[in-house]
Structure 1
């Protein structure tokens, strides 16, 4: 059986990731000529917008063979605005290559990616690219990798003539390899301490790489091809093949959804177990029939009759499928989440008659990127974003693919809410002005994530009513007292009651005398928001960590400017004529600071940021002065208005 490896290529933007993908395909004989990002001729950047901008926006899959191993290579975006696309890919990888520029070195996004790879225990090789570029500094970048990414690095060669077109790589294990291996292997440590000669370390490096104890570092150039054969050999020798029983229960994960020429949904699936064949019925959200399958082979997606464990495929026929869905039995998930988007904006069509078409188009885009997180109040539509580049891409996509010209309102920061105390509320059937045939009591308090549990007996009412309450609790927590999503909230159901099904003598169901799940769905928001109001909430705003490299002589001007955008300095490190400043800055001020930076630093400042944490905003809800987000629900905080709306709707 052919050995399969699902390999991710990850990097900070402009490190040369897509160029390396082209070089790997050329080395494997899949393409005759290496494509150029600048010319828009690469295999994986197939979208017109990717070719225009020279950046990867959507993950793409290509395949090639290396010495009996079939490699499904997944090229991912490098720009931080598209980190959600990277997150979806991480869950389906067997191994990864992290690309670092020999010129720019370790950057903000590089750190974010390596932290995720190490946390998820994905075996990873590091490729230091662009050794032929002026300013290349492979030795110091290797030290930076050990200092900022992982201390357990094994250099797989040394560079000659760095910074010139003639730059080349001499293969071999670098100095200190034995010491690094000895930290993770008792047999190597014993031989080292006793002064015994060590055998060729390749098998030990392979074993330690596969269990994520060490990270081999290769050097080369995707443009000239230097060092690429050694990297290819390392991929085959050091990274683990896919595992899974092709005869086991069907289990797969959807990591990408796209639309075909006829508007049909096409699901990109990694199979972890079992085999799916054309015309099989598989369980997704409901049971659906697979109408066609393509697997990846030698650079292309090829129609075939089945996809088995370990493979990546495109499936047709799953019309209700969404990103993140399981195919069959849910696979054991890798619990990692990058930070959610911290910005949002209102999308407005240039022609008011396009409102309906715009909402439909954005709904389709949200299928491909669920973190766009559409919010619609019946008139206006909000989308969540990671940054201004993503906003430009959404705008260009709507124009090119849907013929819709749109504008964006001012970008605002997305906050969170969380309870600060304990609060309870209860509504009883037919008491007060409760018009619903349901009794619901809820207690809220600070927790870890959002949880729901029962403080009443499970048999005290039908399970469908408990399900209705829990689902409505989770939905309602999307908008707290100030309109923000509520996090870290533990909800306990303290009271439950219903009226059993009543029928007239001739057997017809009498809704006016019998509780339904709808009664619980409509009453729960009133009770939950009342309990939240009793507990009180605090609003949390996102904070970014920044790294800023500037000429040392502008620090005096820069420091008060950073204070004005509420930046907090954590460290300053002098590096010759430049100084690297690290600190925290509220996400709301990042874009403003980026615009001002060139004037403050004579155009020489280089700023990198990434999400760090959430911090409380002064003033808690409901009495405080925390920022408020416009509501898009039926406003259960206003009881009279809410009851008028929902009872009119149900009538």
Structure 2
């Protein structure tokens, strides 16, 4: 019997590292009855952190999917990492989710990675809720975190719950429950983390005034999204809870507001109301807009020829845009968003957007123009196969076995009704290190292991350097590469030697340069003649090399195409030092044809030489990756940390007070930050914490450039 799509919630738990995502997930599994005992991160007993490395470090590294019921709703939940090195796991999860709960620490508030995940959620248009966790901790400040969510994230949180007390049991007014502003009741959780009971009672007299003020603010905020609610508020009439729920749901689904709840996952406070809110306010697959893609077959274009709508949809490209509603009766389409390697056959995680997918069937991969076998469908639990399924439908997240050539970001669809969905974009790698097996007999085994890891993790690359013969592995940070190294040793039984991390530099040019090059060669007795004139100039921002041409270049179309293609290839080939080029614009000014001896080879040669000469004439600027740091430290260690940062060529932008901690915001070159976390711990006696995220590229100092000249 098909599942009622209105009863499905595809949900992600995302946040900064150590905000409590995995603990929230564990409590959700426990209070829903899906687990008999809640696991603990510190003990390595959680369901979603089932990898040995995760249990050992006490952090999430790989996203994990768990499904469980809550009341009459089925929740498919993905727990994601908080560490910036594993941001790809968040990126791919948000691409396929319908809603998210963003967790904030009640003490640390909005941190660097909180901003990153919020931006990622904006990018994919994901409706979300906020949950302020850890209100039982020393220094927790509910109102300060709320203010930060508004100011730093430019969000529109609507407070649905307020805490009763703040901080641990030994303070004067400890955190002991929450007040539900919709029902105007106090909720307490007497059994703490050991129980599932929620006690609903009247709000104590001494808290009623404060609760009424917060409720008035909530109603005032919601009046912006409902005329009916505004009329009742102006008349000072009683506002039914049903109307409040409807307004909150509608505004949340349309991404106008973010309902804000609070609690302490570790002590089992606030999880049941959070699950109620997930069921009540986050969208089901039917409420998400139809997924859009391109029609690689061209059928949609020919069917709509002449219609105004077709012209609008087609834009300037050759392929028309088509859409699929989240309906089991539509043609099947889905997106591969994660691959887990298994010796018995890789497990592909697929989000089904439309139609029905059956086991033992064939699907089409339009991006690679191949057909794939779907041998088996599996329900996923954490990162393991739990139960084999006969079929799945729109809105489901499922494990598929049998695919061979598909990779993360690929579309799968009905062979008769192709659609190509937008893929998933991942950030570029920022750090590399050389790796080699301890014995030559393991060389082939290492290559196979690296290929398997690369398939699993789109932000990990492994390439052999042709000049040195070394294998270079690249990733998002030191921790990322360290985890890869440990996996090779533990999972693949490979003893490997690694060499110092290397920074992934880029190149650009110092100034504008114009050159003219003539190719006049005799190859096998045949003359090849061509002349090309071009300029190169630096740009403010461009991921690579931008190629253009003047209107009066004087070349016929076939030769113009050849020259521009060669300039594109030359731009991708790297600069004078061999690093990838960026922020460069090259423009073809003119070309000259010989009456009889001009050839394609001549123009390719002339264009490549002209580009190379122009780069050398314009002067090389070495660009190094810059990281954005956010360091939280007690006041007494600020001076030592600032002094250390200045020695690392960091630029400190500003500092702010967050409770009894000082937060330093700075940019620093990645090269200077190797081993920084241990140095920071040493300087602060282990009391400071730090988060980093990539922040683009900036010119390296001259002495750095001289090392490569």
Q: Same fold (TM over 0.5)?
A: yes
- Per the TM alignment, residue 598 of structure 1 is displaced from its structure 2 partner at its CA by 3.7
How far apart, CA to CA, are the structure 2 residues paired with 1:169 and 1:321? 48
- Per the TM alignment, residue 96 of structure 1 is displaced from its structure 2 partner at its CA by 0.5
Asked if the contact 2:521–2:529 (Cα under 8 Å) also holds between the matched residues in 1, the reply is no
Equivalent of 1:180 in 216, 221, 245: 221
How far apart, CA to CA, are the structure 2 residues paired with 1:177 and 1:439? 73
Asked if the contact 1:418–1:489 (Cα under 8 Å) also holds between the matched residues in 2, the reply is yes
Structure 2 counterparts to residues 170-569 of structure 1, below 5 A:
170-173=179-182, 174-175=214-215, 176-183=217-224, 200=241, 201-243=244-286, 244-262=326-344, 264-277=345-358, 278-283=360-365, 284-296=367-379, 301-328=386-413, 329-332=419-422, 339-378=427-466, 379-419=469-509, 431=521, 446=539, 448-450=542-544, 473=568, 477=572, 479-489=574-584, 529-530=612-613, 532-533=615-616, 536-569=619-652
Equivalent of 2:670 in 571, 577, 587: 587
Query: In structure 2, do the counterparts of structure 1 residues 521 and 52 end up closer, same or farther at CA, with 3 Å as the change threshold?
Result: farther
How far apart, CA to CA, are the structure 1 residues paired with 2:679 and 2:280? 49
Equivalent of 1:31 in 20, 31, 35: 35
Query: In structure 2, do the counterparts of structure 1 residues 556 and 382 end up closer, same or farther at CA, with 3 Å as the change threshold?
Result: same
State the match for 1:648 in structure 2: none
State the match for 2:311 in structure 1: none
What is the root-mean-square deviation of aligned Cα atoms in Å? 4.0
Asked if the contact 2:555–2:590 (Cα under 8 Å) also holds between the matched residues in 1, the reply is no
How far apart, CA to CA, are the structure 2 residues paired with 1:370 and 1:438? 44
- Per the TM alignment, residue 547 of structure 1 is displaced from its structure 2 partner at its CA by 2.5
Query: Which shows bigger deviation, 418-427 or 285-294?
Result: 418-427
State the match for 1:2 in structure 2: 4
Asked if the contact 1:96–1:123 (Cα under 8 Å) also holds between the matched residues in 2, the reply is yes
State the match for 2:176 in structure 1: 167
How far apart, CA to CA, are the structure 1 residues paired with 2:251 and 2:512? 48
Asked if the contact 2:431–2:504 (Cα under 8 Å) also holds between the matched residues in 1, the reply is yes
Matched, 1:607 2:690: yes
Aligned length in residues = 606
- Per the TM alignment, residue 526 of structure 1 is displaced from its structure 2 partner at its CA by 6.2
How far apart, CA to CA, are the structure 2 residues paired with 1:143 and 1:233? 25
| Equivalent position SS for 2:521 | coil
Query: Which shows bigger deviation, 548-557 or 198-207?
Result: 548-557
Query: Which shows bigger deviation, 382-391 or 233-242?
Result: 382-391
Query: Which shows bigger deviation, 561-570 or 147-156?
Result: 147-156
Query: In structure 2, do the counterparts of structure 1 residues 160 and 576 end up closer, same or farther at CA, with 3 Å as the change threshold?
Result: closer
Asked if the contact 2:431–2:478 (Cα under 8 Å) also holds between the matched residues in 1, the reply is no
Query: In structure 2, do the counterparts of structure 1 residues 372 and 195 end up closer, same or farther at CA, with 3 Å as the change threshold?
Result: same
Query: Which shows bigger deviation, 487-496 or 285-294?
Result: 487-496
State the match for 1:645 in structure 2: none
Asked if the contact 2:334–2:411 (Cα under 8 Å) also holds between the matched residues in 1, the reply is yes
Asked if the contact 2:554–2:592 (Cα under 8 Å) also holds between the matched residues in 1, the reply is no
How far apart, CA to CA, are the structure 2 residues paired with 1:107 and 1:125? 17
- Per the TM alignment, residue 348 of structure 1 is displaced from its structure 2 partner at its CA by 2.6
Asked if the contact 1:251–1:327 (Cα under 8 Å) also holds between the matched residues in 2, the reply is yes
Asked if the contact 1:344–1:412 (Cα under 8 Å) also holds between the matched residues in 2, the reply is yes
Query: Which shows bigger deviation, 406-415 or 226-235?
Result: 406-415
Partner deviation per Cα, 1:86-139 (whole Å, 9 max, x = no partner) = 112121111111112223333222222123223432111112223344554434
Asked if the contact 2:106–2:145 (Cα under 8 Å) also holds between the matched residues in 1, the reply is yes
How far apart, CA to CA, are the structure 2 residues paired with 1:438 and 1:73? 64
Partner deviation per Cα, 1:574-625 (whole Å, 9 max, x = no partner) = 5676533222222222235434334433443333332233222355xxxx96
| Equivalent position SS for 1:269 | strand
Query: In structure 2, do the counterparts of structure 1 residues 171 and 73 end up closer, same or farther at CA, with 3 Å as the change threshold?
Result: same
State the match for 1:100 in structure 2: 104
Partner deviation per Cα, 1:397-429 (whole Å, 9 max, x = no partner) = 001111111232112322223455566889999
Unaligned stretches of 5+ residues in structure 1:
499-513, 631-651
Query: Which shows bigger deviation, 550-559 or 438-447?
Result: 438-447
Query: Which shows bigger deviation, 61-70 or 375-384?
Result: 61-70
Asked if the contact 2:656–2:662 (Cα under 8 Å) also holds between the matched residues in 1, the reply is yes
